[in-house]
Structure 1
């Protein structure tokens, strides 16, 4: 399917953050994806720009990719993921729990009464925009709530000054690779799949999406933003090219060893060893993070340490 932009990837970290720095765009995204009524949004976190090969341990404390706070007190974490990670959902949960805890600690400092802490505690939701599939089925948008097991009653919470109860928890996944032009979802949601998936719009996307698209014009970026994007692109291209090369080398080694020893398992062992070696080399050289390497090797971080 033809791409909307030839020279830019809307899902890259730097690009997503640039888009959501526009609070009107951030507000519309949250309203569309979470069906929330809000009149304004404020960007709390999301201005940080990191190099493509930033160290995972250094980045661990940066909290979330993007945090938006609405005028109805709800907070929305927006996370973007290019490569599939085994522990990505665990990571989302840790971010969500940390944000709730941070909110409690902040309210402890500002509220004298304990009941006020609970009364003013905002709900925290998560939107995960992912370039790899995580769930079975063909639906590109998956919404998770907390519901009673037999009655299907949704668990909600009261929020100070809100006119109605709000969901206690809401996590929405946008799986970009599942997008199809004939989707029956509300177009207010589908247009975001098209925007971040770099697809041609199948309907009139609206003024806010047009404004977001204008933010993807690299000619209007600062020199620092252009330099960072070029670095990210080089790192990503090198990663995928190296992985493809490793897979081919592994297949070649496997065939050669299989012929030499006359055993079929030689092909599999050679292929696996070649891929493993290339992934570990990419990690040691800083081209991919240990988390990405662990996901590719289907290991946890502790098991990965044996290669170091």
Structure 2
């Protein structure tokens, strides 16, 4: 089955933000993936996350694409990654904890009673849409909760004005490369793998999904949006083109010194990608055909 859209990548940052700026689409995504009984959603741009009493670096902030706040006060951080990144799960946990702390600080400034602070503290969940595999097994959708070790009882929390307690923590990974037809999951979840994975739909899309898909139609984009998308695509392609150039340069020189120089350039490029968090050490070692231990000598 071919791609739905030939000229656009649904998981590029700019495209994800455009999709989730549509509150109807954002709400349906969160309801499908987290099974939350929300009726409305309010979007907060990524650069507004972690602003209260934040002591993290600027480049730390922009990794979060968007924050969805629901009418039941729950918040969902939506994070997208194209390449497998070192310590990605650690960073997700840091984003989540920082958001909870900032919510707490804001409540402290507004509420006089201490108990009211915790009564109104919203849970924060994370949806991670990743284009590389993070977990063993064939499951394309992985949901993580906090449960009691022997009784399997889920830890939940009270949220003001909610009819029942809701999960204290929920982190959902959508691993796009594990998608295949006839996955053993609720199709309301599977369809988002198809959407962001740019696959053909295996069931007739409803009005919300059609609305989301229309947002990927470049004919409906402004000139500025197209320009920005072209720039993002150019930057992303540059990383991988630089690797190919390093290999070709070594081959072109055709002598031992030139080959070594090409290998060194390729190695330096890969090390930069590791340090910037774009690829893991495992991926770099595989491309260089060396062991992790040998790669560690250059890091």
TM range (shorter): 0.7 to 0.9
Q: Which residue of 2 aligns with 1:12?
A: 12
Q: Which residue of 2 aligns with 1:231?
A: 231
Are 2:265 and 1:279 equivalent residues in the alignment?
no
TM-aligned CA deviation for residue 270 of structure 1: 8.5
Q: CA RMSD in A?
A: 2.9
State how far apart, in whole Å, the 2-side matches of 1:137 and 1:186 are: 18
Q: Is the 8 A contact 1:67 1:76 kept in 2?
A: yes
TM-aligned CA deviation for residue 110 of structure 1: 1.0
Q: Which residue of 1 aligns with 2:278?
A: 292
Compared CA separation, residues 294 and 273, structure 1 to 2 (3 A): farther
TM-aligned CA deviation for residue 279 of structure 1: 2.8
Q: Is the 8 A contact 1:176 1:196 kept in 2?
A: yes
1:263-288 superposed Cα distances (whole Å, 9 cap, x missing partner): xxxx9x999645312335x66xxxx9
TM-aligned CA deviation for residue 112 of structure 1: 0.8
State how far apart, in whole Å, the 1-side matches of 2:270 and 2:100 are: 36
State how far apart, in whole Å, the 2-side matches of 1:95 and 1:212 are: 26
Displaced runs of 4+ in structure 1, greater than 6 A? 269-272
1:123-160 superposed Cα distances (whole Å, 9 cap, x missing partner): 00000000000000001000000111111111111111
Compared CA separation, residues 88 and 196, structure 1 to 2 (3 A): same
Compared CA separation, residues 243 and 198, structure 1 to 2 (3 A): same
Q: Which residue of 2 aligns with 1:53?
A: none
Compared CA separation, residues 246 and 139, structure 1 to 2 (3 A): farther
Q: Which residue of 2 aligns with 1:51?
A: none
Q: Which residue of 2 aligns with 1:184?
A: 184
State how far apart, in whole Å, the 2-side matches of 1:278 and 1:63 are: 21
May I ask how many residue pairs the two structures share in their alignment? 279
Which runs of 5 or more structure 1 residues have no equivalent in the other structure?
49-55, 261-266
TM-aligned CA deviation for residue 293 of structure 1: 5.9
State how far apart, in whole Å, the 2-side matches of 1:197 and 1:44 are: 24
Q: Secondary structure at the match of 1:291?
A: coil
TM-aligned CA deviation for residue 44 of structure 1: 1.6
Alignment of 1:4-43 (within 5 A): 4-43=4-43
Compared CA separation, residues 102 and 10, structure 1 to 2 (3 A): same
Q: Secondary structure at the match of 2:171?
A: strand
Q: Is the 8 A contact 1:21 1:47 kept in 2?
A: no
State how far apart, in whole Å, the 2-side matches of 1:270 and 1:57 are: 35
Q: Is the 8 A contact 1:127 1:171 kept in 2?
A: yes
Q: Normalization by structure 1: what TM-score?
A: 0.82
State how far apart, in whole Å, the 1-side matches of 2:203 and 2:150 are: 39
Alignment of 1:80-229 (within 5 A): 80-229=80-229
Q: Secondary structure at the match of 1:184?
A: coil
Compared CA separation, residues 157 and 218, structure 1 to 2 (3 A): same
Compared CA separation, residues 272 and 182, structure 1 to 2 (3 A): farther
Q: Normalization by structure 2: what TM-score?
A: 0.84
Q: Which residue of 2 aligns with 1:52?
A: none
Q: Is the 8 A contact 1:133 1:178 kept in 2?
A: yes
Q: Is the 8 A contact 1:77 1:124 kept in 2?
A: yes
Alignment of 1:248-263 (within 5 A): none
